[in-house]
Chains A and B, each alone.
Chain A
């Protein structure tokens, strides 16, 4: 069964601090892994996308890593800001003959406090 699990469920950090969110997946066949940021009441916005051969990708203060052997990914946020408060969703694409099917993690709710 294709599954994506994220940890922690929620996280509170002080502004300016770093944090790391985790994602473990059991998906086959793997196509790519994405991290999305979803603000409350808004649709998800893509942060990074990584294929099997990529093990790290950055987007500003966001850095995602992928270990395809252990089927783990992490999203590291550097020097957090209040605007980083959101839900972060790990999404893995299952390769299909025609397009991909997305498997969503439950998300990690991040709250950045001043």
Chain B
């Protein structure tokens, strides 16, 4: 099946700083990618839908100015957590649609804000 990678796999940052997470589709082009966050013992929650070449669509309650999404190419979407706070500590997972709208998930990025 298709492969989606994320980088970094884990990151620790200080409160108030920004951190960027990359999501790449390795062997297919993805016009649409998705960003999720997952708190411990909870399921994935969709944060936003990222479309190549256009603005991301954010789910209700997700601050677009805090979670900046850029989908500049057909294989790369980035999520930047700006002015991170400890409550932003979470597991962030991206996924991507292939041509048949099958969705493949990345391995996730563990963000810890101290």
Q: Which residues of A contact B (CB under 8 A)?
A: 36, 41-46, 89, 99-100, 102, 104-107, 109
Say what secondary structure dominates the interface of chain B: strand
Interface window among B14-22, B67-75, B104-112: B104-112
| B46 smallest CB distance to A (angstroms) | 8
Which bucket holds chain B's interface residue count? 20 to 34
- When the two chains form the complex, which single residue of B32, B43, B107 contacts A89, counting CB atoms closer than 8 Å? B43
Please judge, given known A-B contacts A99-B32, A99-B97, whether A45 and B42 are in contact too, CB under 8 Å: no
Task: Contact check, A102 vs B43: say whether CB atoms are below 8 A apart.
Answer: no
Q: Are B103 and A102 in contact (CB under 8 A)?
A: yes
Interface centre among A43, A105, A109 (most CB of B within 10 A): A43
Q: 20 more A-B contacts (CB under 8 A) besides A36-B105, A41-B108, A43-B105?
A: A41-B91, A41-B110, A42-B107, A42-B108, A43-B4, A43-B6, A43-B95, A45-B105, A46-B104, A89-B43, A89-B44, A99-B101, A100-B101, A100-B103, A102-B46, A102-B103, A104-B44, A104-B45, A105-B43, A107-B43
